């Protein structure tokens, strides 16, 4: 599709969405209204840039006419000078619009279920799990997000075998989705007397929180077991059957929760995790059927892939997907993830752009 045709289509869509949002039937359907309002807001920024581009285009044509026909050398000089500024700004706007028109992942605005599990490395891996929990908590705090523990399996030395967090706020999934994968740490464990560097690994799963309308869970498909909760090492910390184990029979998925003293609250949290996992499973199955799955160099769903290394002796963090190395390990572990996440987002957008958004005026007429 030619640039002008695409711009016209965007402006027309933005106008139609505004009309649709004003209809009483749309206002009554809050789910539809929120969906259309998000799209209208996203396209609003694009429409503003397109209108500025077109305004500059008109001014450029006027200046070129002056350069071509005017006898006043001073006037011609002014027009030529303005043309340079206009052409530079139009080029800048064209690139900006390209990026703004990249289809946004509809899940980006969702809250996130973040699952952190210790992998290879035993106690050291569990301690690094706790470090990652702290890192994400501090990052969430800097973004004014709320963090809630849905489930945890702590160790006696202050680590976590597994912990599941619910992070709520604006654009949480869109900001954290590139964190999924295996995080590797290289450091001297506190338990190592010889000073040898060990390598351990922790896996991070990032799931968009599922709403009840997204995933229907039938009561007949659930097996719910209750038992007494326990602390690190298996010691009993509760004398009542408050811990809950939920098994989704059709898929075999099992979720346990014992963090709350209330059996009802533990069940609600377990179902929240189960919904997120079922949504992720459904998305994965859908992606397998699509020829061009959303598996780019960034944000791949492959959780077995090593995505990042935290090297303590050298004080550096390396993200292997984009070859980014920062010598600010302490800052990153203190929640300063902005530079990494922004670099991953940019690489992701560039990858999407390379897969087919073309504004070349020589594009064929049918938009193929």
Look up residue 77 and give its two tokens: 């000089």
Q: What is the pLDDT along the chain (368 residues), one digit of tens a residue?
A: 577 888 888 899 999 999 999 999 999 988 788 888 888 888 888 899 999 999 999 999 998 988 888 778 888 889 899 999 999 999 999 888 887 877 777 788 889 999 999 998 889 999 999 999 999 999 999 999 999 998 899 999 899 999 999 999 998 999 999 999 999 999 998 766 667 888 999 999 998 887 655 677 888 888 988 887 766 555 545 556 788 899 999 899 999 888 888 888 898 888 888 888 888 887 777 556 543 433 433 333 333 468 999 999 999 999 999 999 999 999 999 999 999 999 998 888 888 777 654 444 333 333 33
- 16-to-36, 38, 202 alpha-carbon distances in Å: 10, 14, 47
Distance in angstroms (rounded) separating the CA atoms of residues 274 and 280: 10
**Two structure tokens written together for 86:** 């206009």
359 in Cβ contact with 98 (< 8 Å)? yes
> Using CA atoms, how far apart are residues 238 and 229, in angstroms rounded to an integer?
6
pTM for the model = 0.65
165/136 Cα distance (integer angstroms): 10
Q: In the chain, count H helices and then E strands.
A: 9, 11
222 to each of 92, 285, 339, how far by Cα in Å? Answer: 55, 21, 43
**CATH fold of the domain at 106-290+303-350:** Alpha-Beta Plaits (3.30.70)
Query: Could you tell me the residue ranges of all domains in the chain?
Result: 3-101, 106-290+303-350
């Amino acid at each position: 599709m030619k640039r002008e045709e695409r711009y016209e289509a965007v402006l027309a869509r933005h106008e139609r969405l505004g009309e649709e949002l004003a209809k009483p039937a749309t206002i009554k359907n809050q789910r539809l209204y929120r969906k259309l309002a998000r799209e209208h807001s996203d396209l609003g920024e694009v429409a503003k840039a397109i209108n500025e581009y077109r305004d500059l285009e008109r001014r450029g044509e006027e200046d070129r006419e002056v350069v071509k026909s005017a006898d006043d050398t001073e006037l011609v000089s002014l027009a030529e000078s303005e043309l340079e500024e206009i052409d530079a700004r139009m080029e800048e706007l064209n690139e900006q619009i390209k990026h703004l028109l990249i289809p946004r992942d509809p899940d980006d605005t969702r809250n996130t279920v973040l699952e952190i599990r210790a992998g290879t490395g035993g106690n050291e891996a569990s301690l690094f799990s706790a470090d990652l929990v702290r890192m994400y908590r501090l990052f969430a705090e800097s973004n004014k997000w709320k963090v809630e523990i849905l489930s945890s399996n702590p160790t006696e030395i202050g680590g976590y075998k597994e912990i599941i967090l619910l992070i709520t706020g604006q654009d949480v999934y869109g900001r954290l989705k590139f964190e999924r994968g295996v995080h590797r740490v290289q450091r001297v464990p506190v338990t190592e007397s010889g000073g040898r560097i060990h390598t351990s690994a922790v896996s991070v799963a990032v799931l968009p929180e599922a709403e009840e309308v997204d995933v229907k869970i039938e009561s007949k498909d659930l097996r719910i077991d209750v038992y007494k909760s326990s602390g690190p090492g298996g010691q009993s910390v509760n004398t009542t059957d408050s811990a809950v184990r939920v098994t989704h029979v059709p898929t075999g998925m099992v979720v346990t929760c014992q963090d709350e003293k209330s059996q009802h609250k533990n069940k609600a949290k377990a179902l929240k995790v189960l919904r997120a996992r079922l949504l992720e499973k459904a998305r994965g199955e859908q992606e397998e059927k699509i020829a061009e799955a959303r598996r780019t160099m960034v944000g791949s769903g492959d959780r077995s892939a090593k995505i990042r290394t935290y090297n303590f002796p050298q004080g550096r963090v390396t993200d292997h997907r984009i070859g980014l190395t920062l010598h600010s390990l302490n800052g990153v572990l203190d929640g300063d993830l902005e530079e990494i996440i922004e670099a991953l987002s940019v690489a992701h957008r560039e990858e999407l752009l390379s897969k087919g958004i073309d504004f070349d005026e020589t594009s064929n007429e049918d938009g193929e």
